[in-house]
Amino acid sequence: MKAARAAFDADKQHTIGEAVALVKANAKTKFDETIDIAVNLGVDPKYADQMVRGVCNLPSGTGRDVRVAVFARDAKAEEATAAGADIVGAEDLMEKIQGGFMDFDRVIATPDMMAVVGRLGKVLGPRGLMPNPKVGTVTPNVGEAVKSSKGGAVEFRVEKAGIIHAGVGKVSFTEDALVANVTAFLGALQKARPAGAKGTYVKNVTLSSTMGPGVTIDASQALAEAG
């Protein structure tokens, strides 16, 4: 880590491309590290009109296998299975989760299943897995939602301190692929700006690999690129 930090000026602000190149160059572990983005926002999420939440479809994918659980019945259950869902069910799936089954990364539900899913609020809520129409995980179009989740959809939600974290790819990705993902993520974040956000919305943007140091991105320039 010390050697990595010494390899660049930690106080300098970089373009998205420069930051990606530095992060990739300083990822020295033997495993394929995740590239993480951390964005410090000028919001206070304890106020409803300053909550930031959304979903971004990363053009280059996430580089990880996302296991998707779907609550649906009949034709919609068949649609979810055909789209690649890892587990599909209704009350049976609810009981399985209540029994401790948590082998999934995302939960999708058709609107008519929310009465069943709602009984899992205390289990799914704290883990950020509760389906929500705002991020497209409560939808009648379960097939599209499953394909999106499998293909590179990343949910984001601001934490209490006003920070958003997300994985935007792997070190093994090309620089162009990572730049495309970071740009898309910042664009989605801009579109999710809440009505109550005043002053500077995006204060700071940092990119890092799992075990590497953070590289600061010039927020104003990056947001201009993201549109």
Report the CATH number of the 68-151 domain: 3.40.50.790
pLDDT (0 to 100) of residue 70: 98
Instruction: Give the global pTM.
Output: 0.77
Q: How many residues does the chain have?
A: 227
pLDDT in tens, the chain (227 residues): 555 555 566 678 999 999 999 999 988 888 999 999 999 999 999 999 999 998 898 999 888 888 999 999 999 999 999 999 999 999 999 999 999 999 999 999 999 999 999 999 999 999 989 999 988 899 999 999 999 888 888 889 999 899 999 999 999 999 999 999 999 999 999 999 998 888 899 999 999 998 888 999 999 888 888 87
pLDDT (0 to 100) of residue 5: 54
pLDDT (0 to 100) of residue 223: 87
pLDDT (0 to 100) of residue 75: 97
Report the CATH number of the 2-62+153-226 domain: 3.30.190.20
Domain locations in the chain as residue ranges: 2-62+153-226, 68-151
Residue partners of 200: CB distance under 8 A and separation at least 6: 42
